[in-house]
Structure 1
Amino acid sequence: MVAFLLPQKLAVFFIRLFILSGLKKNQTMQEAIDHLFQKDPIFQYIIDTYGLPTIPKRPQGFETLVLLILEQQVSIDSAKATFLKIKAEHATFKPELLVDVSDDQYRAFGVSRQKSTYIKALSSAILNKEIDLESLPQKTAEQVREELIKIKGIGNWTIDIYLMFCLQEPDLLPLGDIAVVNTIKELLDIHDKSIMETHTINWSPYRSYATFLLWHYYLRKRKRTIVY
């Protein structure tokens, strides 16, 4: 009897999961907004002023991590232009290819020596099986951080963005991000990072959504549009 019931229960589970999957995104966004409105008036002000943000999403894997390395401490537009130059020359864009690109070639693409070192370090880590990017979605945010932080050139900001954009981690606030920090300073008049950390705990478990709203405010106020 049990042997027949188990598949039936699993079938019901997957049917319900399929039905709910289309609703989950909007439900989660609404839950996040309701929560953030209760915790801090700045979020209602942002939405009343500029409307709802686009939720950034990027594919998981090697290409996105390379793009994030390129985005470190430069504008997204500048990094994307460099990324597209590399892709135009190396369409396959695989670790085994990028690990052998010379520093001179990287420099011709607009990649600094430091960042070319980081791209090669990531490529080597994948080729040497020091990290398995395909396994990351099955891990917790803490486990993903422990894996990625070992790679030269991948720090907490890069990991935060990967978790938020690629793995849809809902509760991260990257206080290494200049736009996030400057918006908190402007809207909350908090200038000390330790106080920022304490204050923003109240935004949990939706700090990633709070981040998207802060970015939205920062960009719209400056009349900038970014395609993530």
Structure 2
Amino acid sequence: MVIKVYDEKVQRIAQADARLGQLIAVIGDLTIPLRVDPFDSLVMSIIGQLLSVKAAGTIYTRFVDLCKVVAPESILLMEDTEFRAAGLSRSKTSYIKDLSSKVISKEVDLYQLDQFSNETVIRILTSVKGVGKWTAEMFLIFSLGRLDVLSLGDVGLQRSAKWLYNLDKHEDGKACLERKASLWFPYYTIASLYLWEAVNMGYVDSCASLEELLL
């Protein structure tokens, strides 16, 4: 997924929301690699729950080394001890096995999800143990490439929004996202990607405000 600053969708957001527009100008174009395999994408998401990106990556690499191929059939042949050797908890082991079973039985058909609405995709995915709304929303963005997703519960988005709009750290970040959402409609994902990038690039931690960043 490539987001160009001068794309009509991006400019529409920048014109509607001046502060976000200034941030977009600083960050520039974005290239977001999509996760091609939906099953692998969900396994990665489950492994990464409540972990740092670095820790999740380490465990995922160990897991791949053990199962060789990230596919439901190979995963169901693994022993629980192998999951633990990779660093996975009992709960995450059960989540990944439940996902594998549901994919094999066709109860969840990951390869048909791109045909459904966001709401239907979320409903289907959250039928899997351990897959909540946030994980399903990340799947919509980073696997299906949907541009109209706003994950109101995402802590990173909330923190970035409070920084961008000069809110006190104790204020409600979710409420801030809800207030600004109408300015980004329908391209919530694009706004989200720039807010996340402000965190990834260190702006939220290193600059007290957007004004300081622009100096």
Q: TM-score range by the shorter chain?
A: 0.7 to 0.9
Matching residue of 1:198: 179
Matching residue of 1:207: 188
Matching residue of 2:93: 116
State the percentage of identical aligned residues: 32
Decide which of 100, 104, 123 is 1:146's aligned counterpart. 123
Runs of 4+ in 1 over 3 A off after TM superposition: 24-29
Take 1:73 and 1:101, find their aligned partners in 2: how far apart are those partners? 24
Take 1:91 and 1:83, find their aligned partners in 2: how far apart are those partners? 11
Shift of 1:145: 1.2
Matching residue of 2:73: 96
Q: How many residues align?
A: 201
| Structure 1 residue 220 corresponds to structure 2 residue 201 | yes
Question: Does the 8 Å contact 1:60/1:167 carry over to 2?
Answer: no
Match for 1:210: what amino acid?
A: A
Mark the CA change 1:94 to 1:86 in structure 2 (over 3 Å): closer, same or farther: same
Match for 1:44: what amino acid?
A: G
| Structure 1 residue 36 corresponds to structure 2 residue 8 | no
Question: Does the 8 Å contact 2:34/2:142 carry over to 1?
Answer: yes
Pairing of 1:45-56 with structure 2 (within 5 A): 45-56=22-33
Take 1:79 and 1:138, find their aligned partners in 2: how far apart are those partners? 30
Question: Does the 8 Å contact 2:83/2:93 carry over to 1?
Answer: yes
Take 1:112 and 1:134, find their aligned partners in 2: how far apart are those partners? 27
Shift of 1:175: 2.3
Decide which of 114, 125, 137 is 1:160's aligned counterpart. 137
Match for 1:221: what amino acid?
A: G
Decide which of 7, 17, 40 is 1:63's aligned counterpart. 40
Matching residue of 2:210: none
Any unmatched runs of 5+ in structure 1?
A: 1-23
Take 2:50 and 2:18, find their aligned partners in 1: how far apart are those partners? 30
Decide which of 80, 84, 90 is 1:107's aligned counterpart. 84
Larger Rg: 1
Q: What secondary structure sits across from 1:176 in the alignment? A: coil
Question: Does the 8 Å contact 2:80/2:93 carry over to 1?
Answer: yes
Matching residue of 1:15: none
Take 2:5 and 2:145, find their aligned partners in 1: how far apart are those partners? 11
Higher relative contact order (CA 8 A, sep 6+): 1
Match for 2:57: what amino acid?
A: K
CA RMSD of aligned residues (A): 2.4
Q: Under a length normalisation based on structure 2, what TM-score does the superposition of the two structures give? A: 0.84
Matching residue of 1:9: none
Decide which of 126, 149, 162 is 1:172's aligned counterpart. 149
Q: What secondary structure sits across from 1:64 in the alignment? A: helix
- Bigger helix fraction: 1
Mark the CA change 1:42 to 1:168 in structure 2 (over 3 Å): closer, same or farther: same
Shift of 1:92: 1.9
Match for 1:82: what amino acid?
A: I
